């Protein structure tokens, strides 16, 4: 990759050959010969003295039906932003999430976004989501 220095690369043995690979910071799970994205390595945070993996919170949110969940920590609060229209209908998904996660890992609020902002290459722009939530809470 252009502009990446050697510390971003690792040597990995793949089928008896050593290859130079880019360390993207992404973790994948191997299942039935296919790789599935799990979470980013920089998603570990500390909140209330507990280690929290934001990827686990996002995975739990997805498992209860939230669409494209994005989780971040601001101060001592955990925010969850989901890509769907705000609904006036009583939503029991947060209660289901509370049953899945330890108390310290439960988001204090679920924010709804009709469409997450995207980077030029189509990925969800976490930084813009965080800025948007912070500006609404000021």
Give the pLDDT score at 64: 94
Give the pLDDT score at 118: 93
φ, ψ for residue 117, nearest 5 deg: -65, 150
d(CA 77, CA 34): 35
What is the pLDDT confidence band of residue 33, given thresholds at 50, 70 and 90? Answer: confident
Contacts of 78 (CB under 8 A, 6+ apart): 47, 52, 57, 71, 72, 105, 106, 107, 108
Whether 57 and 80 have beta carbons less than 8 Å apart is answered as yes
How does pLDDT run across 112-131, given as a tens digit for each residue?
989 999 988 888 998 999 99
How does pLDDT run across 58-94, given as a tens digit for each residue?
999 999 999 999 999 888 889 999 998 876 555 789 9
How does pLDDT run across 55-66, given as a tens digit for each residue?
899 999 999 999
Give the pLDDT score at 125: 92
Give the pLDDT score at 95: 92
Segments making up each domain of the chain, as ranges = 42-137
Give the pLDDT score at 1: 45
> pTM (2 decimals)?
0.68
Query: Which of the pair, 132 or 46, is modelled with greater confidence?
Result: 132
Which one is the CATH code of 42-137: 1.20.1250.20, 3.40.1010.10, 3.30.300.30, 3.40.50.460? Answer: 3.30.300.30
Distances (CA, A) of 39 to 15, 16, 92, 137: 25, 27, 25, 27
């Amino acid at each position: 990759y252009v502009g990446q220095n050697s510390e971003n690369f690792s040597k990995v043995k793949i089928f008896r050959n050593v290859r130079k690979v880019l360390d993207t910071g992404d973790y994948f799970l191997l299942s039935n010969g296919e790789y599935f994205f799990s979470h980013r390595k920089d998603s570990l945070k500390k909140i209330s003295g507990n280690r929290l993996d934001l990827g686990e919170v996002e995975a739990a949110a997805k498992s209860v039906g939230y669409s494209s969940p994005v989780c971040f920590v601001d101060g001592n609060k955990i925010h969850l932003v989901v890509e769907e229209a705000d609904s006036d209908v009583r939503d029991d998904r947060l209660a289901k999430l509370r049953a899945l996660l330890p108390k310290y890992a439960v988001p204090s609020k679920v924010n709804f976004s009709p469409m997450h902002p995207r980077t030029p290459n189509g990925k969800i722009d976490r930084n813009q989501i965080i800025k948007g939530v912070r500006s609404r809470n000021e």
